[in-house]
């Protein structure tokens, strides 16, 4: 089985060699001094390496930090664009729903509300043979119908805003749920 | 002896060590899961190359976008091999390319050139 390579394999070998020298009682003073000099050289080399690796590592960490900051900015920009797009999409959807509701209300007004007013006014005024009452009958029908339609028209904008806010809240909830799943 | 070539991947650089032209290229991002294992074949190839006592001038072209701490040690070990080769009388030089405005990579090159006894040329290139 091959020995697993280590990042500081050479340095570890130098350390083990130096420890063996200490344990070896047969070494002469000159040999020990020679090995000590060797150890000093290796130590110096390792110190240089440590300085270099620390410096380079710090510099590249700065580079990474800058890249992360740039990425965060881009993410923010992207999120803002997505939000704007979502708002625009929701605004369009709300306008379509409001238009649909307006059509439905108009049909209801023409089909149900107006005939109801007409039959109600008929009971009140037409059964009265008075000419003035007949005039009042047509006026009441006309103005009630117009008033009803005016109220409907005035309610359209607040209705659209309400639908838009509702859809927006729903979209935000969905986005949050999606983020929670992805996290 | 064969040309050593490795394609770049997400976390590892492109490497081409060509004994026929003397051009040794390492470029890209070096953040392998195990840097020692990744650079081991490179070191083995270099030992073989040095042992063959090739007389061709060697240009080491380095163009890193980013490398992690353990890679910085492995790159140093690779450069030390070239320094050893230079000690034998070989003509070796390093060309370290960095992208315009990438001062961190430029300074990293300067730090390497201080410790490795090989002529270093630090070359600015336009951003991709």
- Partner-chain contact B73 A6, CB within 8 Å: no
Mark yes or no for CB contact A55/B111 under 8 Å. Answer: yes
Q: Measured between CA atoms, how close is B73 to chain A, in angstroms? A: 7
Q: Inter-chain contact B104–A59, Cβ cutoff 8 Å?
A: yes
B33 Cβ under 8 Å from any chain A Cβ: no
Burial of residue B78, with CB atoms counted within 10 A of its CB: 0-12 exposed, 13-18 middle, 19 or more buried: buried
Least Cα separation, residue A52 to chain B (angstroms):
6
Count how many domains chain A has: 1
Q: Is A1 among the domain residues? A: no
Burial pattern B6-41, b for ≥16 Cβ within 10 A else e, equals eeeeeebbebbbbbeebbbbbbbbbbbeebbebbee
B56–chain A Cβ distance below 8 A for any pair: no
Does residue A4 fall inside a structural domain?
no
Range of the domain at A20: 9-182
Higher local confidence (pLDDT), B80 or A128: B80
Give the minimum alpha-carbon distance from B58 to chain A in angstroms, rounded to a whole number. Answer: 24
Reported pTM: 0.69
Q: Which residues pair with B92 in a beta bridge?
A: B58
Nearest chain A alpha carbon to B30: A60
Put the strands of the sheet holding B120-125 in their side by side order. Answer: B4-6, B14-17, B23-30, B58-67, B92-99, B120-125
Choose among A33, A37, A34, A57: nearest CA to A45. Answer: A37
Each of the 183 residues of chain A gets a pLDDT tens digit; together they read: 445 678 888 888 888 888 888 888 888 888 888 888 988 998 998 898 888 888 888 888 888 888 899 999 999 999 999 889 989 999 999 999 999 989 998 898 888 888 888 787 777 766 666 666 667 777 877 888 888 889 888 988 999 999 999 998 888 888 888 888 877
Residue A3 forms part of a structural domain: no
Report the alpha-carbon angle A66-A68-A73, nearest 5.
Answer: 95
Q: DSSP for B26-57?
A: EEEEE--SSHHHHHHHHHHHHHHHHHTT--S-
Q: What count of Cα atoms within 13 Å lies in the side-chain half-sphere of residue B12?
A: 18
CB contact under 8 A, A7 and B73: yes
Q: What share of chain A is helix, strand, coil (3-state, %, to 5)?
A: 90, 0, 10
What's the pLDDT score for residue A131? Answer: 64
């Amino acid at each position: 089985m091959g020995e697993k390579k280590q990042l500081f394999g050479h340095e570890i070998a130098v350390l083990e060699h130096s420890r063996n020298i200490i344990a070896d009682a047969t070494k002469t003073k000159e040999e020990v001094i020679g090995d000590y000099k060797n150890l000093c050289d290796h130590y110096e080399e390792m110190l240089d390496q440590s300085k270099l690796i620390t410096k380079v590592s710090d510099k590249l960490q700065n580079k990474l930090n800058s890249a992360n900051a740039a990425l965060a900015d881009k993410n923010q920009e992207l999120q803002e664009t997505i939000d704007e797009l979502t708002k625009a999409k929701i605004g369009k959807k709300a306008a379509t729903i409001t238009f649909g509701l307006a059509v439905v209300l108009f049909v209801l007004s023409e089909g149900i509300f107006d005939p109801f007013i007409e039959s109600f006014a008929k009971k009140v005024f037409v059964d009265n043979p008075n000419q003035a009452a007949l005039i009042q009958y047509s006026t009441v029908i006309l103005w009630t119908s117009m008033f009803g339609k005016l109220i409907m028209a005035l309610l359209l904008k607040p209705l659209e805003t309400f639908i838009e806010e509702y859809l927006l809240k729903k979209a935000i909830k969905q986005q949050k749920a999606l983020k929670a799943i992805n996290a | 002896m064969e040309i050593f070539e490795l394609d770049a991947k997400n976390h590892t650089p492109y490497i081409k060590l060509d004994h026929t032209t003397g051009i040794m290229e390492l470029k890209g991002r070096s953040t392998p899961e195990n840097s020692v294992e990744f650079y081991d074949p490179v070191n083995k190839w270099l030992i073989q190359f040095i042992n063959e006592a090739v007389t061709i001038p060697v240009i080491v072209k380095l163009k890193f976008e980013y490398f992690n701490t353990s890679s910085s040690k492995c790159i140093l070990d690779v450069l030390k091999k070239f320094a050893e080769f230079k000690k034998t009388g070989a003509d070796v030089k390093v060309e370290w390319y960095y992208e315009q405005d990438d001062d961190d990579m430029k300074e990293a090159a300067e730090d390497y050139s201080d410790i490795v006894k090989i002529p270093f040329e630090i070359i600015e290139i336009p951003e991709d």
